Chain A
Amino acid sequence: DTAVSQTPKYLVTQMGNDKSIKCEQNLGHDTMYWYKQDSKKFLKIMFSYNNKELIINETVPNRFSPKSPDKAHLNLHINSLELGDSAVYFCASSPQWISYEQYFGPGTRLTVT
């Protein structure tokens, strides 16, 4: 049973397209996150939701729009994809927003051509 799952695992698309990455956690956690890891392995938080409410919104282009239909899901939609969006995107969850442990998904490798 996968605790935090992401689909798809790989995504190759052309510039200008719109794409979504889905994340689901079956741990009953309240808080979910999106991180971006660039080609140099630098990992940076993008968004965090707690009980479906946005609590962290880093300086991210508004082409990126997270959506949390329920506590168990946090999807990431990206409009008008650019070459610089190529990265690995990680979803994570934690029991509560103050909890220190975060459980990461396997990552989605996005390649924009």
Chain B
Amino acid sequence: AQKITQTQPGMFVQEKEAVTLDCTYDTSDQSYGLFWYKQPSSGEMIFLIYQGSYDEQNATEGRYSLNFQKARKSANLVISASQLGDSAMYFCAMREEGGGGSNYKLTFGKGTLLTVNP
């Protein structure tokens, strides 16, 4: 079974509008972390935001916020006030933290390609 599911292969948003990228996850661990990464067309992977499973508040980093709904096992990324430079591939990832170092690995979803229109 897939551990990370991103159901939107592609999304379009108008510049200055907000957009939500969906991510659901599957784990039986009580302790885990959820991540979002951005991959522009240039290819590098850029860390955006992290949410720990025990964090009660939703994580925020500038224009990025993570809408964490633990009971629904969802960790959607919200980008406010979209900019043209936000056009990129976005990956949701999870790290199960229930064991030792051998478990501390990122499992990625298949990504969502976001296009911001002027």
Contacts of B107 in A (CB 8 A): 45
Q: A90-B45, A100-B50 are in contact. Are A41 and B89 (CB under 8 A)?
A: yes
Find out whether the CB atom of B43 lies under 8 angstroms from the CB atom of A44.
no
Task: Indicate the size class of the contact surface on chain B.
Answer: 20 to 34
Taking a contact as CB atoms under 8 Å apart, the answer to whether B101 and A42 are in contact is: no
Q: Across the interface, which residues of B come within 8 angstroms of A12, CB to CB?
A: none
Mask, A25-69, CB within 8 Å of B = 1, is: 000000000000000111111001010000110100000000000
- Please tell me which one of the listed residues B46, B89, B91, B105 contacts residue A45 in the complex, with CB atoms under 8 A apart: B105
For chain A, the bracket of interface size reads 20 to 34
Instruction: Assess A104 versus B44: contact at CB under 8 Å? Given A42-B108, A42-B110, A43-B91.
Output: yes
Are A106 and B43 closer than 8 Å at their CB atoms?
A: yes
CA distance A48 to B39 in the complex (A): 21
A60 to chain B, nearest CB (A): 13
Say whether B47 contacts A102, CB under 8 Å: yes
- Smallest distance from the beta carbon of A31 to chain B beta carbons, Å? 8
Q: Among A97, A100, A106, which residue has the most Cβ atoms of chain B within 10 A?
A: A100
* Residues of chain B contacted by A102 (CB below 8 angstroms): 47, 106
Instruction: Check: B57 CB closer than 8 A to any chain A CB.
Output: no
Interface 1/0 per residue, B3-37 and A, CB below 8 Å: 00000000000000000000000000000010100
Residues of A with Cβ closer than 8 Å to B? 40-45, 48, 50, 55-56, 58, 88, 90, 92, 97-98, 100-107, 109
Given A48-B101, A56-B101, 11 extra CB contacts under 8 A: A41-B111, A42-B111, A43-B91, A45-B106, A48-B105, A55-B102, A56-B102, A88-B43, A101-B47, A104-B45, A106-B44
